[in-house]
Amino acid sequence: MEAVKCSLCGQNVEDNNHLFLHCSVTTKIWSMCFEWWGFSIAIAGSCWDSFIQHESLATKSSERLGWIIVWFSLVLTI
Ligand SMILES: [Zn+2]
């Protein structure tokens, strides 16, 4: 059985980490968002690490839910 190519770039095997984080198309989206939010951080290696990284952007506990919602919104949009 042949591996499924990424539906966004058509170059790499489409797995969760590639599609949601490391695809050339997706990387541009994350990079633009991080720049927009004023963060200069590398994109995490896995979806779980990305979620934890995103959650840790909150500087106050009251911001935590907001960052979680943003992460899910971005991933669902992708
Ligand atoms: Zn891709």
**CA pair distance 66, 56, nearest whole angstrom:** 11
Q: Is the pLDDT of residue 3 over 90?
A: no
Report the pLDDT averaged over residues 1-18. Answer: 91
CB 53 within 8 A of CB 59: no
Res 2: pLDDT: 78
pLDDT digits (tens, 9 = 90+) for 36-66: 989 898 999 999 999 999 889 888 888 899 9
CA dihedral (57, 73, 37, 30) positive or negative: positive
Partner residues linked to 13 by β-bridges: 5
Q: Is the pLDDT of residue 22 over 80?
A: yes
CA dihedral 22, 19, 77, 37 (to 10 degrees): -10
Res 61: pLDDT: 87
Residue 35 CA to ligand 1 center (angstroms) comes to 21
Residue 63 CA to ligand 1 center (angstroms) comes to 31
Partner residues linked to 5 by β-bridges: 13
Residue 55 CA to ligand 1 center (angstroms) comes to 25
Q: Ligand 1 (ion): which residues have CB within 5 A?
A: 6, 8-9, 23
